[in-house]
Chain A
Amino acid sequence: MNRVKQFFKDLYDNRIWLLMILPGLIWLIVMKYIPMFGQVIAFKNFRFHPDGFFASVFTSEWVGFENFKFLFSTNDAFVITRNTLLYNILFIVVGLILSVAVAIILSEITKQKLAKIYQTGMLFPHFLSWVVVSYFVFAFLSVDRGLFNSVLGYFNIEPVSWYNEPKYWPYFITFISQWKGVGFSSIVYLAAIVGIDRTHYEAAMIDGANKWQQIRHVTIPMIMPLIVILTILNIGSIFSADFGLFYQIPRDSGPLYSVTNVIDTYVYRGLMTMGDIGMSTAAGLYQATVGFVLILITNYIVRKIDEDNALF
């Protein structure tokens, strides 16, 4: 009894702090925790009930793993998992190489003004929405008017129907994602490189190291811990794709689904166009669960390497 009393006394004593977190707490509960509870409809045959959300969830009958069976019996499950994983792996590898290279080159440029101008240019795409970028891409890939087909026409080559040809899209998607992201992801690396103690370079120069050797033996080893940590964290989110990229850029073109459909777009289409609530929830839960496990594993690895950089 005393403990209960003590607990309420603590609540009362901390009332000012509790008041401060209240709006945020309500938001977290409604927007995050209730949907988490809502994940149970992956195991139900969901039926809307006029009495609202909770009534709908509670009155829908349990079907166990039916939704998952149905999901994994289709070819879709394999395709969306493959696309999500392969693209993300590709983005991590290519992104790492490009952003570290850009950061190193930026740090080597002695004219501060020019370096600023380059960085300003490269960061620009980061501030555009995927809708706007999809128009940019369309200006190049439009079948009858796009720049690509104009150039092909100039060399008397048949125009290509870009939005119906899956074989080119892995390259397009990767290129566009890097085009939009490299300026942003190189910022952190640049900050780290600028922070390296200059005496290391002076020592290397006295030993007769040229620019390339300095980069190889000073810069890269110095930022290695950061590279490892950021890469491992990226691996933690390898199961979630950027919805905007995969939904807006291919313009929802059916023939491209084999190479552009990822888990996120699949869940969205299941919900909005096919109306298959059970199965899209199942796909979403599959994504959330695997993602959660991946984060736990990667965090465990980070903790082993370097306690300070672990998330928790």
Chain B
Amino acid sequence: MHVLLGSFAFMCIFPFLYVIIISISNEQSLAENGYQLIPEQWSLDAYKYLWDMKAQVLQAYGVTIFVTVVGTFLSVTVISMYAYAISRKQFKFRKQFTFIAFFTMLFSGGMVPFYIVMTQFLDLKNTMWALILPMAVNAFYIIIMRTFFLRSVPEAILESARIDGAGEMRIFLTIVLPLSIPGIATIALFSTLAYWNDWFNALLFIDDPNKIPLQSLLMRIENNMDFIKQNAMLSNQNSAILKSIPQDSARMAMVVIATLPIALSYPFFQKYFIKGLTIGGVKD
């Protein structure tokens, strides 16, 4: 049993270790022997090279961090307000608005109309909003949050606050939110991961090399490192570096750099992630 599970768990981690090994192999030995588990020669050239090319890498990192922070904040704000409103009995139209959110889970508008709305109606091509807005709200999270509010915020507390003369908005901000930290943290975590790993919206809407996130940068150097190089040319890097590009190891080094933040923070957020998953059924 241990062997079975242990080897599967190892299989899940192994490719990442393998990619790390490739990224610290010497390019020469890669060219001669292919990707090896134990390379003949270790070298940090790939990372040195990326350091020399840091303009593009840092730019993409900046885009990803910006989009993730702003997106997560927006997401949590909008979702929790909507979810709280439809969880309160005092709200006369809560059923209708619950349905309005819920229906989007059943029938989708499709990729093409969505694309045209984003580009033609909202005119968001090549803007940061194109990376933030599409993932800002998620009907499924609204429903989960609603369930969470129903369960974790006792009506009695709200009643006593109302008697003390607090307005609904103030009650929401000062009483409900602090009580709902676990639920909100869960949504924030899901949202952060989704933004960090998103490449799809960039694929649809971003052409400008200065606005691509990390994951897209990875996609663009898939076939060659030229993408980073072109931008290096623009910023007048010295051409000696450009001649000796550690193509393969540099690409894998880029993968490592993009994945490291998740791999390092993973042990800390994993517990909350699992808890969050079992936080609430959809029904009340």
**Chain A residues within 8 Å of B, Cβ to Cβ:** 10, 13-14, 16-21, 23-25, 27-28, 30-39, 41, 48, 52-54, 56, 102, 105-106, 108-109, 114, 117-125, 127-132, 134-137, 139-140, 142, 144-147, 149-150, 179, 182-183, 187-188, 191, 243-244, 248, 251, 264, 267-268, 270-272, 277, 280-281, 284-285, 287-289, 291-292, 295-296, 308-309, 311-312
Contact = CB atoms under 8 A, between A and B. Distances in A.
Contacts of B181: none
A120 B267 contact: yes
B219 A109 contact: no
A278 B107 CA distance: 19
Contact of B4 (A105, A114, A281, A295): A105
Contacts, number: 258
Contact of A311 (B19, B37, B77, B282): B282
Contacts of B193: 127
Contacts of B109: 32-39, 288
- In the A-B complex, the 6 residue pairs with the closest CB atoms: A35-B109, A38-B113, A121-B9, A284-B110, A24-B82, A53-B121
Contact of B19 (A10, A25, A130, A139): A139
Given A127-B193, A284-B110, A31 B5 contact: no
Contacts of B38: none
Contacts of A106: 5
A230 B100 CA distance: 24
Given A17-B85, A31-B133, A124 B13 contact: yes
Mostly, the B contact residues are: helix
B78 interface: yes
Contact of B5 (A25, A102, A270, A295): A102
Contacts of A131: 199, 215, 218-219
B216 to A, nearest CB: 8
Interface stretch (B42-50, B89-97, B235-243): B89-97
Among B79, B117, B267, B273, the most chain A Cβ lie within 10 Å of the Cβ of B117
8 contacts: A14-B91, A27-B137, A36-B108, A39-B110, A122-B8, A123-B274, A129-B215, A284-B110
Interface string B76-89: 01110110111010
B6 interface: yes
Interface of B: 1-2, 4-6, 8-13, 15-16, 18-19, 22, 30, 33-37, 77-79, 81-82, 84-86, 88, 90-94, 97, 100-102, 104, 106-117, 120-122, 133-134, 136-137, 139, 142, 167-169, 172, 193, 196-200, 204, 215, 218-219, 222, 248, 251-252, 255, 258-259, 262-263, 266-267, 270, 273-274, 277-278, 282-283
Contact of A21 (B34, B82, B218): B82
A238 to B, nearest CB: 14
B113 A36 contact: yes
Contact of A56 (B1, B19, B120): B120
A179 B81 contact: no
Contacts of A284: 110-113
A17 B146 CA distance: 14
A115 B169 CA distance: 45
Nearest to B10: A121
Contacts of B252: 135, 139
A292 B109 CA distance: 11
Given A16-B169, A17-B168, A105-B4, A35 B110 contact: yes
Contact of A108 (B1, B120, B199): B1
A289 B100 CA distance: 18
A203 B239 CA distance: 76
Given A10-B92, A271-B111, A281-B110, A251 B222 contact: yes
Contacts of A183: 12
A27 B75 CA distance: 11
B274 A32 contact: no
Nearest to B263: A124
Contact of A105 (B5, B78, B116): B5
Contacts of B107: 36, 288-289, 291-292
A21 B13 contact: no
A131 B19 CA distance: 13
Among B78, B94, B97, the most chain A Cβ lie within 10 Å of the Cβ of B78
B199 to A, nearest CB: 5
Contacts of B93: 10, 14, 17-18
Contacts of B200: 243-244
